[in-house]
């Protein structure tokens, strides 16, 4: 595979840096974004700096889009690295397990490769277009557990952190929760996608993600045989929400909870 050795190794190095820094993080090392509920630590920034420098040296002609340092100049390249240095920062800050480093490579706006490394779980997910998906070098594939009523799904509430009092995820959480075996809120969208990819959950949906939350995880899920759409069964994700699943039957069941979905005005 063209990118695997370098990309998987870089995700590992970045994740190990974040893991080493985790125990020494103090409140002075944490700052807030739009609100006090949305934080960024010095580890997020250091990890993205490591990743961005390594990618710029190895692939100087590729574009870059990172959560913490933004977008490189548009040089017209079809290739773009889309990076979330720590996905699940709130979990990371609390010393929890579900956080990861996520490095996606997209070409002409579609997934080409992805690496997601969860250091606390010792799980490194990798995929490259047409080459399949793996975790720690072992092939992974989505796994169906039947209809929604016998499926475990996951979601997130970025919309609540963003203050969506109207059109947020709570009603969908309730309705889907009433019709499935279980709903999980892992705290990392990239891991949500990887868990569907390896068959540890059956579907994932969310309303207010950013491209860097899903760029790598979507590449991994697609190579693992999964489906990724927006909440209208289109390709306008994450703007019109995201729905990821282990196959068309469950995907259709879940889409029925989002009839005529449209992102709330002004959001």
Chain residues in the site for ligand IPD (CB under 6 A): 84, 87-90, 156, 158, 187-189, 206, 209, 213
CB of 213 to ligand IPD, least distance (A): 5
What are the two backbone dihedrals, phi and then psi, of residue 155, each rounded to the nearest 5 degrees?
Answer: -155, -175
Q: Rank residues 36 and 61 by Cβ distance to ligand IPD and give the closer one.
A: 36
Minimum CB–partner distance for residue 249 and ligand IPD (Å): 26
* Helix or strand run (H / E) with residue 110: strand 110-118
In a 13 Å sphere around the CA of 14, the CA atoms on its Cβ side amount to 33
Q: Quote the least distance from Cβ 64 to ligand IPD, whole Å.
A: 17
- Decide whether 102 or 151 has the Cβ nearer to ligand IPD: 102
**Residue 222 interacting entry, from Ca ion, ligand IPD, none, C-beta within 5 to 8 Å by type:** none
Helix (H) or strand (E) holding 245: strand 242-245
Q: How far is the CB of 148 from Ca ion (least distance, A)?
A: 26
Quick count: other Cβ atoms within 10 Å of Cβ 13? 15
Q: Is-contact 243 251, C-beta < 8 A?
A: yes
Other CB atoms within 10 A of residue 32 CB: 10
Q: Are 147 and 256 in contact (CB under 8 A)?
A: no
Q: Which is nearer to ligand IPD, 187 or 225 (CB)?
A: 187
Partner from Ca ion, ligand IPD, none binding residue 15, C-beta < 5-8 Å depending on class: none
Question: In this structure, what are the phi and psi dihedrals at residue 261, rounded to the nearest 5 degrees?
Answer: -60, 140
Out of ligand IPD, Ca ion, none, what residue 156 binds, judged by CB under 5 to 8 A for its kind, is ligand IPD
Write out the residues near Ca ion by the rule CB under 5 A.
67, 84, 87, 213
């Amino acid at each position: 595979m063209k990118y695997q050795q370098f990309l998987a190794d870089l995700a590992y190095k970045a994740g190990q840096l974040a893991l080493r820094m985790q125990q020494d993080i103090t409140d002075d090392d944490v700052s807030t974004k739009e609100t006090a509920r949305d934080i960024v630590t010095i580890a997020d920034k250091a990890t993205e700096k490591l990743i961005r420098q390594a990618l710029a040296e190895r692939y100087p002609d590729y574009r870059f889009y990172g959560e913490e340092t933004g977008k490189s100049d548009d040089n017209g390249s079809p290739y773009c690295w889309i990076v979330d240095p720590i996905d699940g920062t709130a979990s990371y800050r609390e010393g929890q397990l579900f956080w990861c480093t996520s490095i996606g490579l997209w070409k002409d706006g579609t997934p080409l490769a992805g690496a997601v490394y969860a250091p606390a779980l010792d799980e490194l997910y990798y995929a490259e277009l047409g080459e399949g998906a793996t975790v720690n070098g072992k092939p992974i594939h989505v796994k169906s557990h039947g209809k929604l009523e016998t499926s475990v799904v996951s979601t997130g509430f970025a919309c609540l952190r963003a203050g969506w009092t109207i059109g947020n995820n709570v009603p969908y959480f309730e309705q889907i929760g009433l019709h499935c075996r279980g709903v999980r809120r892992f705290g990392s969208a990239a891991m949500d996608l990887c868990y569907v990819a390896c068959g540890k959950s059956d579907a994932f949906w969310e309303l207010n993600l950013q491209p860097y939350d899903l760029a790598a995880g979507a590449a991994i899920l697609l190579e693992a045989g999964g489906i990724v759409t927006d909440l209208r069964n289109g390709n306008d994700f994450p703007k019109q929400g995201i729905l990821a699943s282990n196959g068309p039957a469950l995907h259709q069941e879940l889409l029925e909870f989002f009839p005529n979905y449209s992102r709330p005005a002004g959001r």
